Chains A and B, each alone.
Chain A
Amino acid sequence: MLKDFEILPHTADLKIRVYGNSIEELFKHALIGMFQSMRPAAPECHYNENKRLVCANLPINHAIEVNSPDRDALLVDFLSYALYLSDVHNEAYLDVTIDLLDMKRILAHVHGIKIKGFDESEIKAVTYHDLNIVKMNGLWQTEIVFDI
């Protein structure tokens, strides 16, 4: 099974490497990686043996529309907007339906749950540091550093 993301060593912040069979999947896994890394505290969900939060339903939906100068920027801006929604609504998003995704634009709906907070340090922001979306051996991937 394809690994969706992994946490890499970083002295001060949070660094993950994200994988996807398609660009759409890469964006989805980046969203999942960002929120799972913060360990959302959601009473109606549970953590599985891989320490991933699993929810029977993701009843909350928000539309996201982002335009950016290029695809790397689009990923940063998409994740940043999801982070903003999470902070304002006290929610975590664990899935996304992507309606349109090209080099400079994404139209999507993120799906999530209400949370009591996060058990890990909050992500303050999504950075461009080390971010470089590439296709290697047929697999899309990038690293992302989050400020925490």
Chain B
Amino acid sequence: MQQSPKWHDLIKINEYLYEIPQSFRSDMRVPARIYMTEAMFQDIEEDRSLLQLVNVACLPGIQKYAFAMPDIHQGYGFPIGGVAALAIQEGGVISPGGIGYDINCGVRLLVANMSKDDIKSRLPELATALFHTIPSGVGRSGKLSLDTKELNQVLLYGAKRMVELGYGNENDLEHCEENGNMPGADFSLISKEAKKRGHDQLGTLGSGNHFLEIQAVEEIYDEKAAHAFGLKKDAVTVMIHCGSRGLGHQTCTDYVRIMMAKLPEWGYQLPDRELVCAPFLSQEGQQYFAAMTAAANFAWANRHVIGHWVREAWHLILGPGAELITMYDVSHNIGKRETHSINGLKKEMIMHRKGATRAFGPSRPEVPAAYKEIGQPVLIPGTMGTSSYILAGTDDSLSQAFGSSCHGAGRVMSRTKAKKLISGSDLRARLEAQGIVVRCDSSVGLAEEAPIAYKDVDRVVKVIAQAGLAKKVARVVPLAVIKGG
């Protein structure tokens, strides 16, 4: 059995960056780099996060380093918080497991034109309305059921199709990664099984760590950037965290299976079968990318519809003058075709970000026009009862880590252990004692996501900011948490 790197195997680059040299294992094609502090090493030394990162460093075509963000924790194949750039013209591969089963799981943030004091008296009512409006938890169906023809349009055009159908508006699209409609999708490459799973799941949160949160801006770190993002102290925000539901899970499963059958032909020796991959330019690689793009569009349509329903509930409770404007929507499980410079040479990459967020600085054309001078918003949800952060991508991040940042706090404890340490009802009582309204029909689900199961998000974000991957713009705190089981 292969050994995980120990502390003595790591080289300190600076206070926030450590390296596992290529010499650690003979099959590494590049070194691996981890953004963390020395104190954070204890969170990952017992599990297999770093071994998984070393495995990523073995992928054909990988450039510079296999990166881990400070929220790194053990996953399958890639660690969560893993970033890899695979050069397309140098035999770079695409790995469905390296993107994740929940394709385009991500976060959308809406900003209200009201302060926390404006909504204080109506908060329980708002939370209840959102809980009843947005289907959550395990269980499959939502309020929308699409026939195959309509589902295909959503797979092709994502959130843009939903605007055509009367959900949300153009402004939502302008403030969304890929404008909610990533080009290159091919619905014919999504299996009938995936379509069956997805046809009535549009507009549903799902379970696990997915949630809706009503929040308030607690602290502003960068006035100029906050102004551009429409944020001010005490303003209310709504955060939506979910992905592509069963349609995405099935799509990843399907292509892992397809690539597994072809693996002997390509001759890759992989340290973990879950890293199964295809040359990006092969037929299988291209087909998976087009299918993944379609599933990503489904996820953007999903968060878009949920945003629309949040707005409807908002108007219902607070009146038609209560606005909610989409600030941004980022993916943190996705593969992207991006051009990056390495030693002055431009290379086209297939970027893998699994549990990692794109964090492009002002120089990139992908940043929305409204944020051109600031950089792309980076949304980092914390845990229940703790802060979440809004950051801005930097050009430094582009030169360091292909324009990437962390995606959350990062788990440190299994769900089983979390449930042993705290009951759902105790956690609910603690949150309510902090003045946070909780709407969740599963105590078990609540306990699994207890803050003690996660790293301290403040420490994680500090590493990102100090390392220069993104700059802190604002910190928000929860007023109400709405989640499924």
Interface residues, chain A, with chain B CB atoms under 8 Å away: 7, 9-14, 38-39, 68-69, 72-73, 76-77, 80, 84, 87-88, 90, 116-122, 124-131, 145, 147-148
Contact = CB atoms under 8 A, between A and B. Distances in A.
Nearest to B43: A11
A122 B74 contact: no
Interface string B306-342: 0000000000000000000000000000000000000
A148 B207 CA distance: 9
A10 B414 contact: yes
A126 B254 CA distance: 11
A90 B139 contact: yes
A125 B273 contact: no
Given A10-B414, A11-B47, A148-B208, A129 B77 contact: yes
Contacts of B246: 87
Given A116-B139, A128-B272, A84 B197 contact: yes
A7 B416 contact: yes
B75 A13 contact: yes
B206 to A, nearest CB: 7
Interface in B251-302: 252-253, 256-257, 260-261, 264, 272-274, 276
B249 interface: yes
A9 B138 contact: no
B484 to A, nearest CB: 9
Q: How large is the interface on B (under 10, 10 to 19, 20 to 34, 35 or more residues)?
A: 35 or more
Contacts of A12: 73-75, 80, 411, 414
Contacts of A69: 260-261, 264
Contacts of A11: 47, 49, 73-74, 411-414
A87 B197 contact: yes
A119 B417 contact: no
Interface of B: 47, 49, 73-77, 80, 97, 100-102, 137-140, 193, 196-197, 206-208, 246, 249-250, 252-253, 256-257, 260-261, 264, 272-274, 276, 411-417, 442, 444-445, 448, 485
Nearest to B209: A121
A123 to B, nearest CB: 9
Given A87-B140, A116-B139, A129-B272, A124 B101 contact: yes
Contact of A122 (B47, B206, B276): B206
Given A11-B414, A117-B137, A126 B448 contact: no
B77 to A, nearest CB: 6
A109 to B, nearest CB: 19
Nearest to B442: A119
A127 B76 contact: yes
B249 A121 contact: no
B197 A88 contact: yes
Given A77-B257, A121-B415, A124-B102, A147 B76 contact: yes
A129 B97 CA distance: 10
A117 B274 contact: no
B419 to A, nearest CB: 9
A9 B416 contact: yes
B138 A121 contact: yes
B261 to A, nearest CB: 5
